[in-house]
């Protein structure tokens, strides 16, 4: 019988502890810097370690985890709800029911909300889902991780109209979810517009190439808040694809790892369904 892994091997330079499942993490980068690959690598490692997770997918590209890297074989046998590649449809009114199913069946799955008719429908679903997951985990705490893509859309800095309930639900989950077993990774290419109350409460930041002055400023604010050396911010624009700073003043230190590490993520083993199409992808 194979021994369970001792950690999440995300690159040659870094193996994350298994309690990453209950940590709050910010994963930030510009487009095409390797952010989606990094998220997929962490998800792959959690799956193989038997750690359940849920991916919230407003972009419609997490389905690639179901296929091998070349797209011709099987990947991770996880259910996909909603989207163009889903096993079953996902309705905007089903947020609470989906949360019940996830907890009762202890599912690892992707929730593709990219085909919802409007942003309002997405926010209604996500508000119901977030509130219900938080409540269910309060009754019966258990480890689970949530990958929140496009976090700047779900918990933005500027809150208008019907957004308030969704922002409140997910900000609360970031701040208080750990005690209930709920960890979260906020994934965004626009760190400047992610709600600062939520962003500063993340315990670990994984930041790949970042070039915008506004986004760099938001990262600098996090670094100052957590009393970490500010010099690393100056290097962000020069990072190669897949190269990242992992900044974890408290969590990784408890496991005997450096609080600040510069690493390179391995390539994902599953299909990169979110890669930019090329001329070779045209139909004949």
The pLDDT confidence band at residue 279, using thresholds 50, 70 and 90, is very low
The domain spans of the chain are: 12-274
> In this predicted model, what pLDDT tens digit does every residue of 42-56 receive, in sequence order?
999 999 999 999 999
Measured CA to CA, the distance from residue 267 to residue 264 in angstroms comes to 9
> In this predicted model, what pLDDT tens digit does every residue of 91-114 receive, in sequence order?
999 999 999 999 999 999 999 999
> In this predicted model, what pLDDT tens digit does every residue of 172-207 receive, in sequence order?
999 999 999 999 999 999 999 999 999 999 999 999
Of 86 and 278, more confident: 86
**Token output for 115:** 């085909």
Whole-structure pTM value: 0.94
Q: CATH number of the domain at 12-274, please?
A: 3.40.50.300
Assess whether pLDDT exceeds 90 at residue 69. Answer: yes
> In this predicted model, what pLDDT tens digit does every residue of 10-53 receive, in sequence order?
999 999 999 999 999 999 999 999 999 999 999 999 999 999 99
- The predicted structure's pLDDT at residue 277: 54
């Amino acid at each position: 019988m194979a021994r369970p892994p001792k950690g999440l091997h995300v690159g040659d330079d870094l193996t994350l502890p298994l309690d990453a499942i209950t940590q709050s993490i910010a994963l930030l980068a510009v487009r095409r810097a390797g952010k989606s690959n990094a998220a997929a690598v962490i998800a792959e490692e959690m799956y193989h370690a038997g750690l359940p997770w849920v991916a919230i997918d407003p972009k419609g590209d997490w389905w690639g985890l179901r296929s091998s890297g070349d797209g011709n074989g099987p990947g991770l046998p996880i259910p996909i709800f909603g989207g163009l590649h889903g096993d079953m449809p996902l309705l905007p009114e089903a947020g609470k029911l989906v949360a019940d199913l996830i907890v009762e069946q202890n599912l690892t799955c992707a929730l593709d909300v990219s085909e919802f008719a409007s942003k309002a429908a997405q926010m209604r679903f996500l508000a119901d889902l977030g509130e219900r997951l938080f409540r269910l985990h309060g009754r019966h705490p258990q480890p689970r991780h949530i990958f929140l893509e496009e976090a700047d859309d779900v918990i933005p800095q500027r809150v208008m109209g019907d957004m308030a309930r969704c922002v409140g639900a997910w900000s609360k989950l970031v701040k208080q979810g750990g005690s209930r077993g709920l960890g979260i990774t906020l994934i965004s290419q626009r760190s400047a517009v992610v709600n600062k109350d939520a962003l500063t409460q993340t315990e670990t930041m994984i930041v790949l190439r970042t070039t915008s002055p506004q986004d760099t400023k938001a990262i600098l604010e996090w670094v100052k808040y957590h009393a970490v050396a500010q010099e690393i911010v100056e290097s962000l624009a020069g990072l190669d694809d897949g190269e990242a700073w992992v900044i974890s003043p408290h969590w990784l230190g408890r496991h005997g790892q450096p609080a600040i590490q510069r690493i390179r993520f391995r390539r994902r083993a599953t299909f990169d369904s979110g890669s930019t199409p090329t001329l070779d992808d045209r139909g004949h």
